[in-house]
Structures are given as structure tokens and as C-alpha cells.
Amino acid sequence: MKTAFASLAVLPFTLAAVHQIAVGGDNIFAFNPNNIVADVGDVLSFQFNVKNHTATQSSFASPCTKLLGADNLTPVGFNSGFNPVAAGSLDLPVFNVTVNDSKPIWVYCAQKNPFSHCAEKGMVFAANAPTTGNTFQAFLNNALASGNSTTSTTTTTSATAAWTSPPAPEIVTVTATVTEGDTTYLTTYASWEGSAAPTAAPQPVNHVIVVGGSAGLVFTPSNITASINDTVTFQFESKNHTATQSSFSNPCTELAKTSATGQVGFDSGFMPVGVNDTNFPSLTITVNDTAPIWGYCRQTNPTSHCGSGMVFSINAVEDSPNNFAAFQGLAIHNSGSSASTTSSGSASSPSSSDSGKKSGATRVSLGGASVLVGVVAVVFGMML
């Protein structure tokens, strides 16, 4: 393992924490986690995965540009340089950065081949981002907005005016034989061009997504890849959020209200959690196929969380124009006011059919009870 270390000062010995941050991966254009709180003396340990990424310091105002000095010419921040990693490689480079003060640290991936990982994919990271004002979500929005402004054919200073709506997704019908242990069954479902083959994981994995909390208006991580029979657990932390299934074309609207095929989708209901609470409610879903799953937080008090970019995806096709960054950009642009109708493949799709296997309904665990998606509609009072 190759390890680089960056620090601006020698600190006295302390019991520092080491924060492990995965950079990229197989069809993943993200830092994971992408928003953390770190104390002085802690170490940010960036571990580079498949493809060729960087961990480069930037600024809140210019997320996708190296941090420059007072002359606006000389780079003054840390930069890992490019770290190419071949698929299947076990030799993963590591770049360590010591936290020297409590100021926000803004980071991005500087890869631009064949597209900007920062501006087009939102591949950014923050440590100690404020929870109001210059938040991580605002930083991410700035990064994505810089991509819109550079690719737009119209010169404008408005991210909204520069917005280019992604094309409608190409829906295909997938029919495949899936083997789970000693059991083999046929499955047919609506999916997207380029989605992963429908294979079951030898050992199902539980993916945990933190909803809200100290990270702010964000799902952490917000974009994951999961196999058939994997579970995804949404863990709700401070404030009052939901995990609600939607569709790519209507990011901020419940799937049941827009589906042309009668899909219902899952919805946790509102989950109020106090700032100092340690008992976190959760919602767990099971992934039934590899079609993309889109979702959002439907809290609108005092502002639309979805319209602020609080969305997530499971099995998004990242090398297509309808990837997670496009989904999030559409949510921010529409602010939850979309009216078009599309079909969305998902774990809870009632249109899915498994011959001799599953009914297509996703079972969820909510507050310790196992219920069918669409049955749970618990609404609590708003917590600001």
C-alpha cells in the first residue's frame, strides 16, 4: 500500500482519530463518507479505489478549482495527485491529511477525463462544514452548478438559467435466471439501459444510509450499488426526515402519485429525532432487482429538503446521462414541482414478477415491525 501524508504543522501528541474516506470505486464517483466532523489533530485518510481520482483541496466558492493563495495564482492547498487503480487491485494508495484547525476543509476530485468528476458528478468532500450558511449541501450545489455553467451553450451567471434537463431514461424489459444458493428462478422486470445484470449476492450485505444528522440535509452515502437480496437500512438522525421512493423524472414526488404502472414505492413517514438523541429509528428495504431506485426526503418545513438536493439513489447507471448527479440536479432545479409521468424500476416495483419466487413487493422493517411497503404511513409532528 502506498501512503502519502500532508500536514501544515507538527502537532503535539494526542489520541487522534483516523477518518477513513473511500475515494471512487467500481462505477462510483463519490467520496464515502462525503461530509464529516473532525477534531484538531485527527487524520483524514483518503483511500483510492478503482479508476483514477484525486483528493484536492478547494474552496467553498470554487469547489472544482485548486485552493489558491492571495495572488489567485499559486495553489496553497493539499493535493494527492492522480492515483490510478486497476480493477481488482489490492494495492490501494492512501493519502493522509492532518486536521490543523476547526475551519471547514473543502475537497474535490480533479479528474476531467472523459468528464469532470467534480462538476458533472458532484464528487466533493467536506470536513467541518457549517450546518447553516456555507453547508456541505451548498458546496455540492456550487460544484454541480459550475458544471451546468461550463456545459451550457448560453453564457449566464444563473445556474437555473444554465440548467439543461437530462433526457428521458430508456426503459428496457429484463428477463433473467437468478441463482440464490441452491434455488434458481426466473425474473422479469422493467429496468434501465446499462443496469447491472440481475445477480444475487452470495452473502447479502446490509447497506446503511444515514438520513440527516450532523451532515445536514443529505443522505450519507447518497449513491450506492446493491445486489439482489441486499438490504438497505435508512438510519434517521437529528431533525425530521423521511426516506421516500420517487422516480428519476419526478425526484420530489412520491412514486405512487406519478407512476404510470401502478407502482406504490416505500415511504418511512416522518421520523423526528432530537439533536442529542441516541436512539435512531430506521427503515430497512430489500433489493429485489438491479433497476435504479430513486428517493428523497419529503420534508418541506421550513424549506423543501428535496429541493435542496436531499435525494438518494440505489443502482443508478453512473455512465449514463441519467445518473445520480443528474437526478439531484433535477430535484434542485424543479424544487419538487415536477408533473411528468414515467415508469421507475425499483426494489418495491409491483410490476416486477418472479416466477415461483417473489411477488415483487418489498418488505421493510420499521421500528422493529415487518410490514409491506405502502402500508406504513406514520406521520409525526414537524420538528424544525
Is 280 part of a structural domain of the chain? yes
Is 185 part of a structural domain of the chain? no
> Do 210 and 92 share a domain, yes or no?
no
Give residue for cell 451550457.
152
pLDDT at 40: 94
Q: Indicate which CATH number applies to the domain containing 237.
A: 2.60.40.420
> Do 130 and 246 share a domain, yes or no?
no
225 is in which domain, residue-wise?
201-335
> Do 125 and 45 share a domain, yes or no?
yes
**How far is residue 217's CA from residue 25's CA, in Å, rounded to a whole number?**
24
Q: How many domains does the chain have?
A: 2
Is 371 part of a structural domain of the chain? no
Please say which residue of 147, 163, 181 terminates a domain. Answer: 147
pLDDT at 66: 92
pLDDT at 289: 83
- Cβ atoms of 242 and 271 closer than 8 Å: yes
Q: Smallest Cα–Cα separation from 236: which of 273, 289, 185?
A: 273
Quick check: pTM over 0.75? no
Is 260 part of a structural domain of the chain? yes
- How do 94-98 and 3-6 pair as beta strands? parallel
E-strand ranges in 260-378 read: 271-273, 282-286, 293-296, 311-314, 353-355, 363-366, 369-372
> Do 212 and 310 share a domain, yes or no?
yes
Is 306 part of a structural domain of the chain? yes
The three-state secondary structure class of 137 is helix
Sequence-distant (6+) residues with CB within 8 A of 56 are 66, 77, 78, 79, 80, 107, 108, 109, 110
Is 196 part of a structural domain of the chain? no
> Do 331 and 211 share a domain, yes or no?
yes
pLDDT at 133: 87
Sequence-distant (6+) residues with CB within 8 A of 159 are 141, 145, 148, 149
The DSSP letter of residue 290 is: S
- Cβ atoms of 17 and 40 closer than 8 Å: no
Q: What are phi and psi of 282, to 5 degrees?
A: -145, 160
Is 223 part of a structural domain of the chain? yes
- Cβ atoms of 269 and 177 closer than 8 Å: no
User: Could you state, in chain order, the average pLDDT of each consecutive group of 10 residues for the chain (384 residues)?
Assistant: 52 74 91 94 95 94 89 86 88 94 95 89 95 90 72 32 62 66 67 64 86 90 88 94 94 90 90 92 91 94 91 88 87 60 35 30 35 31 31
Please say which residue of 85, 115, 147 terminates a domain. Answer: 147
Is 302 part of a structural domain of the chain? yes
- How do 223-224 and 311-314 pair as beta strands? parallel
121 sits in the region (left: phi over 0; alpha: psi -120 to 50; else beta) called alpha
- The residues with which 235 forms a beta bridge, in sequence order, are 210, 282
> Do 40 and 141 share a domain, yes or no?
yes
pLDDT at 34: 94
> Do 57 and 124 share a domain, yes or no?
yes
pLDDT at 98: 95
